[in-house]
Structure 1
Amino acid sequence: MTIQKPDKTHGWRGSADLWIDAAYEVLIDGGVEAVKVMPLAKALGLSRTSFYWHFTDREALLAAIIDRWEAKNTGNLVARCTAPAGSICAAIFNLFDCWIDEDLFDSRLDLAIRNWALTDAGLRARVNAADATRLAAMRDMFDRHGQDGRLAMIRAHTMIFTQVGYYTMQLGESITERLDRMPLYVEAFTGQAPSKAEIAEFYARHGHDA
């Protein structure tokens, strides 16, 4: 883990985002128990007092990380599920943008949050709520494209279970390998083969040559 010390002037207290970014790196690498104020302050080259300028306590910092996770991962996933699409295959490709673009969906943070939730009942409830929101967005996506209600839910469950299992197993698959296989995943999840045009559009926005 490397936390970049910021450039600063005398008396500078940093920013809330700076502390959250540093805590994020520690959470990803060492779990929630490793997120402590003094080590973060030392890594950033700031004082403990600077931390309390932005947060009331460690719990407030942890809450900010959770809020970032919900806004980014769940928020972007729902947005991709509701993006305009001419077919169910195109809609699934929209969702698959999340599995390729870390700016849309941070799989490392999602895994860290899930691991943390194993020992935190309150966070477990928020993870369950986030999963319910994600599943509903996927189900509604299938519904909009004429899928039967029960089948839509099963397919939504299959997609989310597959993705969580994928990053939990940390397979180390390259982006190129993932992109090459995604048209077949679309077919597996929808029962329909995507068109050449839909595949080409998906590949183009990720800079991938078929």
Structure 2
Amino acid sequence: MDGKRTERGWRGTPDVWLEAAYDLLVEGGVEAVKVMPLADRLGLSRTSFYWHFQDREALLAGLIDRWKAKNTGNLVARCEAPAATIAEAMLNLIDCWVDPQLFDSRLEFAMRTWALTDRTVEVAMAEADATRIAALTALFRRFGYAETEADTRARTLYLTQVGYIALRSQESFAVRLGRIPAYVLTFSGQAPTEAEVAAFRARHAVRSDG
């Protein structure tokens, strides 16, 4: 614990509790997200939790809001990012699949698992899927694809990524980078230019398998 956490009377912050709850969620599922394990992990008292949250349900609602803002919010933003070609637009979107700061696949897997046993989360997941597919469809429509083709390409792209997440597919970053130009061609019908691929790689140059 750092000095701040051991100060007398320090109760943490809502973000501190949410971050610890996130860790428990992705490690052990929603059943692992309980007040006492959180307090033990943070080295704080159980009563400190209730300074920030009315109850466990309020904390879980905070996790749902965090997931919506990060995964759905960033995916929609990448779909709407400026692009001169559909291939460049695809690469903007694929930023989400290779940068966990934009789209958290571990959180997405945990949320989809949680949705299997919680009707509220199931509804939120269905809404998120619909919002994301609509954004992807709009992306294709922006580049002149007819409605049915735009919808089909959007679903092909999205369901492929959901499959990656559901199967917890593991591949090195180098392998995924090598496949991305072919994915762009598969999803859009247009291959990216060397310059577009180079710009994408430059954005992710700091990533490594380590």
* TM bucket normalised to smaller: over 0.9
Which among 188, 192, 195 is matched to residue 194 of structure 1?
Answer: 192
Which among 8, 11, 14 is matched to residue 13 of structure 1?
Answer: 11
Q: TM-score, normalised by structure 1?
A: 0.95
Q: How far 1:46 sits from its partner (Å)?
A: 0.2
Q: Please say if 1:75 is aligned against 2:69.
A: no
**2:22 counterpart letter in structure 1:** Y
- Describe the SS at the equivalent of 2:191: coil
CA distances 1:69-97 after superposition (whole Å, capped 9, x unpaired): 00000000000000000000000000000
CA distances 1:123-163 after superposition (whole Å, capped 9, x unpaired): 10110001111001000000000111101000111111100
Distance in 2 separating the partners of 1:121 and 1:167? 21
Unmatched runs of 5 consecutive residues or more in structure 1: none
**1:88 counterpart letter in structure 2:** I
Query: Aligned pair count?
Result: 205
Question: Percent identity of the aligned residues?
Answer: 58
Distance in 2 separating the partners of 1:189 and 1:43? 44
Moved over 4 A (4+): none
Which among 49, 55, 58 is matched to residue 56 of structure 2?
Answer: 58
Unmatched runs of 5 consecutive residues or more in structure 2: none
- Describe the SS at the equivalent of 1:184: helix
Q: Please say if 1:86 is aligned against 2:92.
A: no
Q: How far 1:168 sits from its partner (Å)?
A: 1.6
Distance in 2 separating the partners of 1:194 and 1:139? 19
- Describe the SS at the equivalent of 1:147: coil
Which residue matches 2:160? 162
Distance in 2 separating the partners of 1:208 and 1:6? 29
Which among 150, 156, 164 is matched to residue 152 of structure 1?
Answer: 150
**1:44 counterpart letter in structure 2:** L
RMSD: 1.3
Distance 1:6 1:26, change over 3 A: farther
